[in-house]
Amino acid sequence: MNQLMVTIILGGRGGGTPAHSSDRSNSLLNFSLMKLRALIVDDEPLARERLLGMLRTETAIEVVGECGNGLDAVTTIKNTPLDLVFLDMQMPGCNGMQVLAGIPEENRPGIIFATAHERFALDAFEVQAIDYLLKPFDRERLQTALRRAQEYHRLRRPVPVESTQKTEAEIAETPSPTPALKNERLTVKADGRLVFLKADEIVWVEAADNYVVLHLTTGRLMLRETMSAIEARLGTTSFVRVNRSAIVHLDQIKEIQPALHSDYTVLLREGTKLPLSRSLRSQLGKFATGT
């Protein structure tokens, strides 16, 4: 019987360096009150050690284990409460995609692929991975992925849905630490191809049943993705949710116009008019004034 190659980290590793350092002053994730339980899966010990070292200064991440192959990863993910898995693609036993195939979709934690191979990027987007880290990556790139993971889980926190109005109010009051995509590309899959978009190319996003429609400066793209997932990827610095079915780029807002029954309408520069949720008005006003 193969020995289970899993290291569970409980505060130290064989009397050596602790799994978490007390010096967290350089962390970019100190803003978060939510701590994510993470698993590192990689067949290369040096790669696991390097990633663990980078995560030691991140107070929002608790690394609870390591796996050295895909088969052990499946067992560990099934039996360990996890929020996040850093998953290599090519490993002995089974690869990263086979690991995910062994976990029911509804029970999967958030996935960040960390691999040296570019060719698996399309597969990663097929399974709606949070991010795709191409080795070797630096701390800044890792922290971008961690911010996306924070936003991914923030938008999936269970909230009491007593009414649509209350749900929207909770959205408006939730802190929004995720930075804009100003200097990054948003990669989406459409019609079997990967499309790389700049933030400024996205005018607004529309919910359409199990899809979202990206209204771009050059046309439209329909994606099989949820609104909460695309909102997490866009961030909430340059984009704002004006109602349950629409997210808009702040620079594309031309006017906020009064409507009937004390309601308001958001007029975009290209002419689209969208109803503004009453409970989200204060959030929009905050962004509009730049405060």
Reported as type and span, the H/E element at residue 247 is strand 246-249
CATH number of 171-289: 2.40.50.1020
pTM (2 d.p.): 0.53
Q: For the chain, what are the domain ranges? A: 6-154, 171-289
pLDDT tens-digit profile, the chain (291 residues): 343 444 434 333 333 333 443 343 344 444 445 689 999 999 999 999 999 999 999 988 999 999 999 999 999 999 999 999 999 998 887 899 999 999 888 888 999 999 988 778 777 777 878 888 889 889 988 998 898 888 888 776 654 444 344 455 554 554 444 444 544 678 888 777 788 888 899 999 999 887 899 999 999 998 888 888 888 888 877 888 888 899 999 899 988 888 777 678 889 999 999 988 776 665 555 545 444
Given this model, what pLDDT does residue 262 score?
A: 66
Distance of CA 2 to the CA centre of its chain: 35
139-154 helix and 45-55 helix, angle to the nearest 10 degrees = 70
What is the Cα–Cα distance from 271 to 265, expressed in whole angstroms? 12
Give me the pLDDT at residue 5, please. Answer: 42
Nearest to 133 by CA among 111, 155, 100, 163: 111
The CATH class of 6-154 is alpha beta
Name the β-bridge partners of 196.
187
| pLDDT of res. 120 | 80
Cβ contact 100:108 at 8 Å: yes
Q: Which residues of 172-206 are buried (b: 16+ CB within 10 A; e: fewer)?
A: beeebbbebbeeeebbbbeeeeebebebebbbbbb
